Structure 1
Amino acid sequence: MMHVLRKRGVRLALASSTGLVACALGFFAWQTFYPVQAAEGWNVQVLHNSVTRAASLLPQADGSLLVSRELNGGKGSILRITAEGDRMVVLEGLSKPDGMVAVDGGWAFSQEVGGAPVSMSRDGQVSQLFDGNNVQGLYNDGLHLYAIEDRKGDGRLMRYDWQSGELDVLRSGLTETEGLTRCADGRLLYTEKATGKIRALSEGGNDPVVIEGLRNPTFLLCDQRGLWISEDSSHRARLLRIDGDGTRRTVLSYLKAPQAIVPDGKGGYLLAEGGRDRVLRLTPPAKAKTAQAEASPRVPEA
């Protein structure tokens, strides 16, 4: 009798364990395949599929799109997708190419690995600008190229002078700083992924927190609609927008590791969703811009 009860207990335990495993697998599958949800009035669609580890985006004047594919070990590359959908690798043999910004006559790009330089591609030639360690975010204002390192405790925020070629380290000792952008009020903002904060570079050296309570903030974009923030989370990530009045809005939800967001030149946006290997197109509500959208973006003062 005890033997029978023991066997029955084992069967129940196995059945229970199997059920738990099935539930867990089902939950993760749901998170992976649940469709992206857009806020009311906004429309989202897949523009390009099968773009492995899409990270940074750079629309070109001819209608094509440059996409960095953030693979490690020399397997990363920068891909050009034409307006007709044709694809061509323009740079290969890279390791985790991440940040990418337009420069005069070409573009600059970073590689998020130790000892990799920030480089520039122009007229088919690649030249090294300066060395970095795990450089991720880039921002170009025409006079200077800003670069930020994604490190744990020894990251730097740097500024490269296009005219003199000098490199200044503006901040050091940073942790998991990934994205940066400049807003209309002149402040340069950068993310702290682990703490969920965004700071503003200040002359005094003590950079104030302007936004907090975020989940893994990474790429930033500031434009006439506000401050856009993508969350580098594997499941149920969001694309957020801080309006001109400081209101925080979720524009896209159920994303998987979204990366760079850029204007598409048609009033909408392109978003790299690296976790699903694709590029999304985000279209705003089909109505005239409100006075709020027309206003210069503002983030809360510290």
Structure 2
Amino acid sequence: MKWMGSGGMSFFLRSLKLRRLITSAVVIVAVGFAYPAWRHFYPVTSTNGWDYKVIHKIPMVSALAVDDQGALFVSQEFSNHKGKILRLQKDGSSEEIMAELSKPDGHIFFRGGLVTGQEGGSFPVLWLRDGVKQALFKADNVEGIATDGHFLFAIEDKTPGRLLRFEPDTQQLTVLRAGLDEGEGVSVCPDGRLFYTEKAKGWVKQWQFQGEDLILVKDLNAPGFVQCTEDGLWITEDATHMARLLLVDPSGNLHVILNHLRAAQTIIQLKTGQYLLAEQGRSRILELKRTD
């Protein structure tokens, strides 16, 4: 083989360097695509003592509530008056009970009717009872709704937002907190403790009648809904990827119950050790059960 001259050697080295650069670029691009794909398709995992299964597939599922007959009420969080609420029977059939809503999100049963907010702007909180729809009060971007049986509590998903309390008998609306940063979830425990989330701050707080509210948990990944049960305080993370379902037990310890969720929304209790969770990012409802 004839040995190449200095010019040929220089060309060879430049070509080799170019091929290496191209190879490196291809690898970087492939890894860049692979990481989001891994986050997107990685299955949900549960901790020891809990298991889950998919029971419904519903686009843009968000709020959940169950009536006395066991029917499941589900909100579809579409904007621009395209949102709706469906009633799902145990046999799998469904019917539309409310439509033309703007991002219906939190809802809850109250005094024989369904109360729902609308996160899509300045709209009234609605109360559907015996087929009649009534406006209770007007607020901005209402997402979470809770009740202690007497008062209704609502939180606005905006900056600045408010934590509100409504007394239906007197029609009095009280601002419990103002200046919140994307409030999403609110829950009342049987002992009267009131918890709420600020998604942009990454924390869950306990409201105080006097003084500053107490931070229960912080450094979370977009905390959304909260739900108080005998198991403790449940927290969902409304993050596009790598979201979790968390539980603060009665002793104050934080547990990760489900991992790798996508935009987790409402969690409700069916009975002791059995829950339903809306996973909006995968358009489905999960049933969560304690196994130990």
* Cα offsets for 1:147-169 (capped at 9, x unmatched): 111111x2111111111111111
Whether 1:78 and 2:85 are equivalent positions in the alignment is: yes
Unpaired runs of 5+ residues, structure 1, are 287-302
Give the aligned partner of residue 4 of structure 2: none
Q: Given that residues 143 and 163 in structure 1 are in contact (C-alpha distance below 8 angstroms), is that contact kept between their aligned partners in structure 2?
A: no
CA gap 1:130/1:226 in 2 versus in 1, 3 angstroms: same
**What code does the residue aligned with 1:133 have?**
D
TM-score by length of 2: 0.91
Give the aligned partner of residue 299 of structure 1: none
Cα offset, 1:121, TM superposition: 1.0
Query: What is the SS of the residue equivalent to 2:200?
Result: coil
Cα offset, 1:212, TM superposition: 2.0
**What code does the residue aligned with 2:35 have?**
F
Whether 1:175 and 2:162 are equivalent positions in the alignment is: no
Question: How far apart, in 2, do the equivalents of 1:76 and 1:29 lie?
Answer: 29
Query: What is the SS of the residue equivalent to 2:135?
Result: strand
* Cα offsets for 1:102-142 (capped at 9, x unmatched): 11121100111221111111122211111111111111122
Query: What is the SS of the residue equivalent to 1:221?
Result: strand
* Among 224, 233, 240, the residue aligned to 1:227: 233
Unpaired runs of 5+ residues, structure 2, are 1-7
Percentage of identical aligned residues: 40
* Among 109, 112, 121, the residue aligned to 2:119: 112
Whether 1:22 and 2:30 are equivalent positions in the alignment is: yes
TM-score by length of 1: 0.88
Is the radius of gyration larger for structure 1 or structure 2?
A: 2
Whether 1:57 and 2:68 are equivalent positions in the alignment is: no
Whether 1:127 and 2:137 are equivalent positions in the alignment is: no
Q: Given that residues 199 and 223 in structure 2 are in contact (C-alpha distance below 8 angstroms), is that contact kept between their aligned partners in structure 1?
A: yes
CA gap 1:155/1:205 in 2 versus in 1, 3 angstroms: farther
**What code does the residue aligned with 1:194 have?**
A
CA-atom RMSD in angstroms: 1.8
Question: How far apart, in 2, do the equivalents of 1:66 and 1:173 lie?
Answer: 31
Query: What is the SS of the residue equivalent to 2:184?
Result: coil
Give the aligned partner of residue 210 of structure 2: 204
Give the aligned partner of residue 160 of structure 1: 166
**What code does the residue aligned with 1:198 have?**
V
Whether 1:89 and 2:91 are equivalent positions in the alignment is: no
* Cα offsets for 1:9-60 (capped at 9, x unmatched): 55544443333222222222221121111111211000112x1111110112
Give the aligned partner of residue 39 of structure 2: 31
Question: How far apart, in 2, do the equivalents of 1:91 and 1:3 lie?
Answer: 72
Question: How far apart, in 2, do the equivalents of 1:137 and 1:82 lie?
Answer: 24
